[in-house]
């Protein structure tokens, strides 16, 4: 039998109730009756498999569904002290508390007394031994919270996982090929076509200034160039490789955390050997960065393929207007080449 004095002392204090179906209810005791029907407030409930949690403003629990009750240790100590004080007074007065149900500390509350504190007519609800199940439940909740935090950290850094770069690069290629096959999209014949690649400043793209860091621009440019080459030259990519030789970036406006943007890639100009691609990081009407990359097309054996020759292989027809546009934009690229040669000559 669980002494009702224990529940009287515990009123207004936290206690934990485990039901026979495995669910637990952790809240403050409001009221009870002789059949161990109890009411709790500010209740945290846990499912039997300890995977789900929910809150209730109050809960009414029938005594015949209770498996264990757990009260704070200080409540037990207070009841024992009160019991000892009553026994001392009884001995001093020559009487005793005969006929009352005994309470054996740590034995789940078995004792005499007919019907007092039972579920229904004399069946008592046992109290668990220390350490408290309240602490165990709190520990389980703490581990669940820690696991949730760990999963969140892994999710926020998913782009930096091993092989994440390789997976995303190949995913870009597969996506282009799949769309071309499913929707029967013919290869592009416009050498100046702009290819748009979506991007987002994810958690592992940020620096201490809370915006996309400089290295992330180059990492994401790899995806944009792959997307561009797959769109423009994917149908004639066998037996050749595209080698990137350098990138210059001009930053205009920061990209804030988790902001979406678009990388727009197109041919800027080309010469006998080098091809210059321009990349624009844009969000709406805002230009965040402008990049100029140069690459070369090579055979598998390392031999350079002149870009004009490669365009003919791919079926591009370069008109006079295309040549004029190319030549008008080439002096800027030529200036970069001369600047590069001067810097490299100092090494």
- The tokens of 41 are what? 């407030």
Instruction: Please tell me the distance from the alpha carbon of residue 83 to that of residue 104, in angstroms, as a whole number.
Output: 11
Containing structural domain, residue 200: 186-345
Q: Provide the CATH number for the domain around residue 20.
A: 2.30.30.100
- Higher-confidence residue of 185 and 262: namely 262
- The tokens of 175 are what? 């996506």
Residue 338 has pLDDT above 90, yes or no: no
Q: How many domains does the chain have?
A: 2
Place of tokens 């321009």: 278
Q: Is residue 116 a part of any domain in this protein?
A: no
Q: Which of 61, 87, 113 is the last residue of a domain?
A: 87
Q: Provide the CATH number for the domain around residue 212.
A: 3.10.129.10
When pLDDT is cut at 50, 70 and 90, the band that residue 3 belongs to is low
Q: Is residue 258 a part of any domain in this protein?
A: yes
Residues 62 and 194 in one domain: no
Q: Which of 67, 87, 107 is the last residue of a domain?
A: 87
User: Which pLDDT does position 136 carry in this prediction?
Assistant: 54
User: Which pLDDT does position 102 carry in this prediction?
Assistant: 44
Tens digit of pLDDT for each residue in 19-31?
988 899 998 888 8
Q: Is residue 126 a part of any domain in this protein?
A: no
Q: Is residue 69 a part of any domain in this protein?
A: yes
When pLDDT is cut at 50, 70 and 90, the band that residue 109 belongs to is very low
- For the chain, the farthest-separated pair of C-alpha atoms sits apart, in whole angstroms, at 122
Contact 283, 255 (CB under 8 A): yes
Tens digit of pLDDT for each residue in 295-315?
999 998 999 999 999 999 888
Q: Which of 87, 102, 119 is the last residue of a domain?
A: 87
This prediction has a pTM of 0.58
When pLDDT is cut at 50, 70 and 90, the band that residue 224 belongs to is very high
């Amino acid at each position: 039998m669980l002494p009702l004095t224990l529940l009287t002392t515990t009123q207004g204090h936290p206690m934990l109730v485990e039901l026979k179906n495995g669910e637990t209810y952790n809240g403050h005791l409001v009221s009870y009756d002789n059949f161990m029907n109890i009411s709790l407030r500010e209740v945290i409930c846990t499912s039997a498999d300890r995977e789900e949690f929910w809150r209730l403003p109050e809960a009414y629990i029938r005594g015949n569904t209770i498996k264990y009750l757990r009260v704070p240790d200080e409540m037990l100590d207070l009841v024992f002290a009160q019991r000892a004080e009553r026994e001392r007074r009884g001995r001093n007065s020559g009487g005793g508390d005969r006929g009352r149900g005994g309470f054996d500390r740590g034995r789940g509350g078995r004792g005499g007394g007919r019907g007092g504190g039972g579920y229904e007519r004399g069946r008592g609800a046992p109290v668990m031994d220390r350490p408290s199940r309240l602490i165990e439940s709190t520990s389980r909740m703490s581990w669940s919270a820690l696991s949730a935090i760990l999963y969140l950290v892994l999710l926020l850094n998913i782009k930096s996982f091993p092989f994440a770069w390789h997976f995303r690069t190949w995913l870009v290629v597969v996506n282009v090929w799949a769309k071309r096959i499913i929707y029967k999209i013919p290869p592009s014949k416009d050498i100046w076509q702009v290819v748009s690649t979506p991007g987002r400043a994810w958690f592992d793209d940020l620096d201490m200034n809370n915006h996309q860091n400089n290295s992330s621009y180059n990492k994401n440019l790899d995806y944009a160039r792959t997307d561009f080459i797959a769109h423009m030259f994917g149908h004639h990519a066998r037996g050749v490789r595209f080698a990137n030789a350098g990138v210059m970036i001009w930053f205009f406006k920061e990209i804030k955390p988790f902001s979406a943007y678009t990388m727009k890639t197109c041919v800027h100009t080309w010469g006998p050997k080098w091809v210059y691609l321009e990349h624009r990081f844009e969000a709406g009407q805002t230009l965040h960065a402008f990049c100029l990359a140069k690459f070369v097309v090579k055979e598998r054996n390392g031999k350079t393929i002149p870009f004009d020759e490669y365009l003919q292989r791919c079926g591009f027809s370069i008109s006079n207007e295309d040549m004029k546009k190319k030549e008008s934009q080439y002096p800027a690229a030529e200036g970069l080449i001369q600047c590069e040669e001067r810097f490299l000559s100092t090494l």
